[in-house]
Structure 1
Amino acid sequence: MGLKSVVIDAWSWLNYKPIFSDPGLGMPNRRAFPEAHASWVPAADERRLSAYKLLAAYDNNQASELAELRDGPSARERREFGDPSMFIDTLVAHVMGREQHITVPGAEQTDADSETEAAAAERVQTLLRTWAEDELLPMRMLQCERKAVGLGDGVYLLYWDPDKQRPRLRTYDPGFYFPVLPEDGDGADFPERVHLAWDLPEDPKRGLKARLRRITYEMDWIRPATAPGVDRQGRAVRAPVMSEATNDSPSVPVIGQGDQVDAQGGISRLYPWNDRPTYRTCYLTDATWELGDLKGPVDVDTLPMDKAHFATNGAGEVLDHLDLYLDFIPILHTPNTVPPAEEHWGQSSLAKALQAFDELASTDTDAARASATTGLPMIGISGVTDPKQQYNVGPGAMFKLGENGRLTTVDTSPALRELREHGHDLADRAANVVRLPAVSLGTMDPSKVPSGYALELSLGPLDSLIGGMRLARAHKDMLLLRFVQRLFIAGQHPDWGGITPLPAKLVRGPYTPTDKAAALEQVTTAYKAQVISLETAIRMLTEAGWPIEDAEKEIEQIESRSFEQARLLADALGNPDEVAAFLGRQAPDELAAPAVQLPTVPADEQTDDPAFQGSGGAGGANE
Structure 2
Amino acid sequence: MGLISGARQLVIDAWSWLNYKPIYADTRGMPHRRAFPEAAATWVPAADERRLAAYKLLAAYTSNQAGELASLRDGDEARDRREFGDPSMFVDTLVAHVLGDGQRIVVPGAEADDDSTDEQAVRVQTLLRDWAERELLPMRMLQTEQKAVPLGDGVYLLHWDQDKRRVRVRTYDPGFYFPVLPEDGDGSDYPERVHLAWELPEDPKRGVKARVRRITYELGWITQDETDVVRGGLEDADSDQEPSVQPRQYPWNDEPSYRTCYLTDATWELGDLTGPVDVDSLPMDRASFAEGVDGVVLDRRDLMIDFVPLIHVPNTVPPAEEHWGQSSLAKALQVFDELAGADTDSSRASATTGSPIIHLSGKAASGRNQLAVGPGMILETGEGGRMDTVNTAPQLQELRSHRADLADRAAAVVRLPAVALGTLDPTKVPSGYALALSLGPLDSLISSMRLARAHKDSLLLKFVQRLHLAGQHPDWEGVTPQPAILVRGPYTPTDQAAVLEQVTTGVAGGVLSLETGVRMLQEAGYPIEDTEQEIRQIESRAFAAAKDLADALGNVDAVAEFLGRQAPEAEEVPAVQLPPIPANAAEADAADPLQDGDDDEA
- Normalised by the length of structure 2, the TM-score is 0.93
1:573 has 2:576 as partner: no
Kindly provide the amino acid, as one letter, of the partner of residue 215 in structure 2.
I
- Greater mean alpha carbon deviation, residues 164-173 or residues 307-316: 307-316
The residue that corresponds to 2:428 in the other structure is 448
CA contact (8 A) 2:224 2:245 kept: no
Amino acid at match of 1:194: V
> Counterpart of 2:24?
20
Asked whether the 8 Å contact 1:262–1:268 carries over to 2, the reply is no
Q: Deviations over 1:84-111 (max 9, x none)?
A: 0000000000000011111111111233
Query: Using the alignment, how far apart are the partners of 2:339 and 2:371 within structure 1?
Result: 37
Deviation at 1:223, TM superposition (A): 1.6
2:15 to 11, 17, 24: 11
Between the aligned partners of 1:220 and 1:101, the Cα distance in structure 2 is 35
Shift of 1:225: 5.3
Matched to 1:469, the amino acid is M
Q: Does 1:350 align with 2:329?
A: yes
How far does the alpha carbon of each residue in 1:251-291 deviate from its partner, in whole angstroms, 9 at most, with x for none?
xxxxxxxxxx9994431111101101111111111000111
CA offset at residue 602 of structure 1? 9.1
Tell me how far apart the structure 2 counterparts of residues 418 and 265 of structure 1 sit (CA, whole Å): 78
CA distance in 1, matches of 2:557, 2:243: 60
Farther off after superposition, 526-535 or 97-106: 526-535
CA contact (8 A) 1:103 1:506 kept: yes
Q: Is 1:29 the equivalent of 2:29?
A: no
Amino acid of the structure 2 residue aligned with 1:352: K
2:496 aligned residue: 516
Shift in CA distance, 401/500, structure 1 to aligned 2, threshold 3 Å: same
**Matched letter for residue 488 of structure 1:** H
Task: Give the letter aligned to residue 363 of structure 1.
Answer: A
Match of 1:528 in 2: 508
Alignment correspondent of 1:233:
none
Contact map agreement 1:11 1:47 (CA 8 A) in 2? yes
Task: For residue 461 of structure 1, give the secondary structure of its aligned residue in structure 2.
Answer: helix
CA distance in 2, matches of 1:553, 1:400: 85
Within 2, Cα distance between the matches of 1:263 and 1:73? 63
Task: Establish whether residue 140 from structure 1 lines up as the match of residue 149 from structure 2.
Answer: no
Confirm or deny: 8 A CA contact 2:223 2:244 kept in the other structure. Answer: no
1:560 aligns with 2:526: no
Q: Distance in 2 between matches of 1:416 and 1:144?
A: 41
CA offset at residue 601 of structure 1? 8.3
1:427/1:194 CA distance change after superposition, 3 Å: same
Deviations 1:498-539 (A, max 9, x none): 000101111100000000010011111111121121111111
Equivalent residue number for residue 289 of structure 1: 268
Cα distance in 1, alignment partners of residues 552 and 106 from structure 2: 33
Distance 2:415 2:204 in 1: 50
Residue 402 (structure 1) shift: 4.2
Change (3 A) 1:140 1:580: same
1:491 & 1:394 partners in 2: Cα distance? Answer: 75
TM superposition shift of 1:387: 2.7
In structure 2, relative to structure 1, the CA distance for the partners of 1:596 and 1:409 (3 Å cut) is same
How many angstroms apart in 2 are the aligned matches of 1:391 and 1:86?
Answer: 43
Contact 1:78 1:361 survives alignment (8 Å)? yes
Residue of structure 1 in register with 2:600 after alignment: none
Q: Which runs of 5+ in 2 are unaligned?
A: 230-239, 597-602
SS of equivalent to 2:560: helix
CA distance in 2, matches of 1:403, 1:569: 106
1:339 Cα deviation (Å)?
0.3
SS of match in other structure, 1:74: helix
In structure 1, what is the Cα distance between the partners aligned to 2:326 and 2:280?
25
Deviates more, 1:82-91 or 1:531-540: 531-540
CA shift, 1:571, in A, is: 1.9
Cα distance in 2 between the residues matched to 1:84 and 1:208? 38
**How far apart in 2 are the matches of 1:181 and 1:62?**
33
Relative to structure 1, is the Cα distance of residues 265 and 320 closer, same or farther in structure 2, using a 3 angstrom cutoff? closer
Question: Does 2:487 correspond to 1:507?
Answer: yes
Q: Which amino acid aligns with 1:586?
A: Q
Q: Which residue of 2 aligns with 1:198?
A: 198
1: CA distance between counterparts of 2:453 and 2:363?
74
How far off its partner does 1:600 sit? 6.0
Cα distance, 1:177 vs structure 2: 0.2
Alignment of 1:388-403 (within 5 A): 388-389=367-368, 390-403=370-383
Which residue identity does 1:164 align to in structure 2?
K
Question: What does 1:90-169 correspond to in 2, within 5 Å?
Answer: 90-112=93-115, 114-115=116-117, 117=118, 119-169=119-169
The equivalences for 1:354-369 within 5 A come to 354-369=333-348
Letter in 2 for 1:218: E
Partner letter of residue 361 of structure 1? A
Secondary structure in 2 matching 1:169? strand
Paired residues of 1:36 and 1:47 also in contact (CA < 8 A): yes
For residue 476 of structure 1, what is the aligned residue in structure 2?
456
Moved more, 398-407 or 540-549: 398-407
Query: Aligned residue for 1:89?
Result: 92
Helix, strand or coil: the match of 1:391? coil
1:256 paired residue number: none
Residue in structure 2 matched with residue 494 of structure 1 by the alignment = 474
Instruction: Name the structure 1 match of 2:317.
Output: 338
Deviation, 1:403, is 4.0
AA aligned opposite 2:467: L
2:281 counterpart SS class: coil
2:76 maps to what in 1? 73
**139-148 or 383-392: bigger deviation:** 383-392
Residues in 2 aligned to 1:428 and 1:600: alpha-carbon distance in whole angstroms: 101
Residue in structure 1 matched with residue 176 of structure 2 by the alignment: 176
Alignment of 1:199-598 (within 5 A): 199-224=199-224, 226=226, 264-385=243-364, 387-389=366-368, 390-598=370-578
Q: Deviations over 1:176-201 (max 9, x none)?
A: 00000111111111001000000001
Given the alignment of the two structures, is residue 62 of structure 1 paired with residue 42 of structure 2, yes or no? Answer: no
Residues in 1 aligned to 2:333 and 2:13: alpha-carbon distance in whole angstroms:
17
Give the secondary structure class of the aligned counterpart of 1:566: helix
Confirm or deny: 8 A CA contact 1:104 1:124 kept in the other structure: yes
Measured against aligned partners, the alpha-carbon deviations of 1:161-220 in whole angstroms (never above 9, x if no partner) come to 000000000000000000001111111110010000000011122221110100000011
Q: TM-score, normalised by structure 1?
A: 0.90
- Cα distance in 1 for partners of 2:209, 2:191 equals 32
Residue 254 (structure 1) aligns with: none
Partner amino acid for 2:319? P
Q: Distance in 2 between matches of 1:397 and 1:564?
A: 86
Letter of the 1:445 counterpart: D
RMSD, aligned CA: 2.2
